[in-house]
Chain A
Amino acid sequence: MVELETTQDVKDLHKIFVEDVYGIPGGDKIRQCQQCGTCSGSCPTSSFMEYGPREVIAAFRAGELDKVVRSNTIWLCTSCYSCTVRCPAGIKVTDIMYELKRLAIKYKSWPRDCKNPALSKIMIDNIEKYGRNYEVGLLAKFTMTHKPSLGVKFAGLGTRLFMSGRMPLRPSPIKGRDEIAKIVAVLETKEVAG
Chain B
Amino acid sequence: MNGQKIAVYVCNCGTNIGGKVDVDEVVKWAEKQPGVAVARGYKYMCSDPGQGLIQSDIKEHGIDRVVVAACSPTMHEPTFRKACADGGLNPYLCQMANIREHCSWVTEDPEAATAKTKRIINAQIHRLPWNEPLNPIEVPVNPDVLVVGGGIAGIEAALKLSATGKKVYLVEKDPSIGGHMAMFDKTFPTLDCAACILTPKMSAAGKDPNIEMLAYSEVTQVDGYVGNFKVKVKKKARYVDIDKCTGCGACQEVCVVRKVKSEFDVGLGYRSAIYIPFPQAVPLRATIDPVKCLTLSKGKCAKQPCVPACGPEAIDFAQQDEYLDIEVGAIIMATGFELWDAAEEQRYGYGRLDNVITSLEFERLSNASGPTGGHITCKNGEAPKSVAILHCVGSRDENYQEFCSRVCCMYSLKFAHLIKEHLPEAEVYQLYIDMRTYGKGYEEFYKRLMDEGVHFVRGRAAEVSEVALSPEEEGHLVVKAEDTLLGITRRLPVDMVILSAGLAPRKDAKAVSQVFGFGCSANGFFLERHPKLEPVSTITDGIFIAGCCQYPKDIPDTVAQAGAAAAGALALVDNPTVKVEPTISYIDPEKCAGCHICVNICPHAAINWNDDQGVAEVIEAACKGCGVCVAACGSNVPQQRGYLDSQIFAEIEGAMAL
Contacts and interface: CB of A to CB of B under 8 A. Distances in A.
Contact flag (A, B; Cβ within 8 A): yes
Interface of A: 34-43, 46-47, 52, 54-55, 86-90
A37 B460 contact: yes
Contacts of A46: 482, 489
Contacts of B392: 36, 88
Interface of B: 347, 392, 396-399, 433-434, 458-463, 480-484, 487-489
Given A47-B489, A54-B482, A86-B347, A42 B462 contact: yes
Instruction: Count chain A CB atoms within 10 A of each CB in B458, B459, B463, B484 and give the residue with the most.
Output: B484
Contacts of B481: 37, 41
A29 to B, nearest CB: 8
Which 4 A-B residue pairs are closest in the complex by CB-CB distance? A41-B462, A37-B482, A88-B397, A40-B482
Contacts of B397: 88
Contact of A36 (B398, B480, B484, B487): B484
Contacts of A86: 347, 399, 462
Given A36-B459, A88-B460, A41 B482 contact: yes
Nearest to B457: A37
A37 B480 CA distance: 11
A99 B485 CA distance: 26
Instruction: Count chain B CB atoms within 10 A of each CB in A38, A43, A46, A86 and give the residue with the most.
Output: A38
A36 B489 contact: no
A88 B398 contact: yes
22 contacts: A34-B433, A34-B434, A36-B433, A36-B484, A38-B461, A40-B459, A40-B462, A41-B460, A41-B480, A43-B489, A47-B489, A52-B482, A52-B487, A52-B489, A54-B484, A86-B399, A86-B462, A87-B398, A88-B392, A88-B396, A88-B399, A88-B460
Contacts of A40: 459, 462, 482, 484, 489
A41 B488 contact: no
Contacts of B462: 37-38, 40-42, 86
A41 B479 CA distance: 10
A13 B1 CA distance: 74
Contacts of B489: 40-41, 43, 46-47, 52
B272 to A, nearest CB: 42
Contacts of A39: 482
A25 B398 CA distance: 16
Given A35-B484, A52-B482, A52-B489, A41 B461 contact: yes
A54 B489 CA distance: 11
A92 to B, nearest CB: 12
Instruction: Count chain B CB atoms within 10 A of each CB in A34, A36, A38, A42 and give the residue with the most.
Output: A36
Contacts of B487: 52, 55
Contacts of A41: 459-463, 480-482, 489
A42 B347 CA distance: 10
Contacts of B459: 36-37, 40-41
A35 B392 CA distance: 13
A54 B483 CA distance: 11
A86 B397 CA distance: 9
Given A54-B482, A90-B398, A36 B488 contact: no
A40 B482 CA distance: 6
A78 B459 CA distance: 23
Given A35-B433, A36-B484, 4 more contacts: A41-B460, A41-B481, A87-B398, A88-B398
Nearest to B484: A37
A100 B463 CA distance: 26
A88 B483 CA distance: 17
A103 to B, nearest CB: 22
A89 B398 contact: yes
Contacts of B434: 34
Nearest to A34: B433
Nearest to A89: B398
A5 B398 CA distance: 39
B473 to A, nearest CB: 15
Contacts of A88: 392, 396-399, 460
A39 to B, nearest CB: 8
Given A46-B489, A47-B488, A54-B482, A37 B458 contact: yes
B398 to A, nearest CB: 4
Contacts of B347: 86
A89 B347 CA distance: 17
B482 A34 contact: no
Contacts of A47: 488-489
Nearest to B483: A37
Given A36-B433, A47-B489, A89-B398, A42 B463 contact: yes
Instruction: Count chain A CB atoms within 10 A of each CB in B392, B462, B481, B482 and give the residue with the most.
Output: B482
A35 B482 CA distance: 10
Contacts of A54: 482, 484
A42 B398 CA distance: 17
A35 B397 CA distance: 13
Instruction: Count chain B CB atoms within 10 A of each CB in A41, A47, A54, A87 and give the residue with the most.
Output: A41
A38 B461 CA distance: 6
A184 B528 CA distance: 56
A55 B392 CA distance: 21
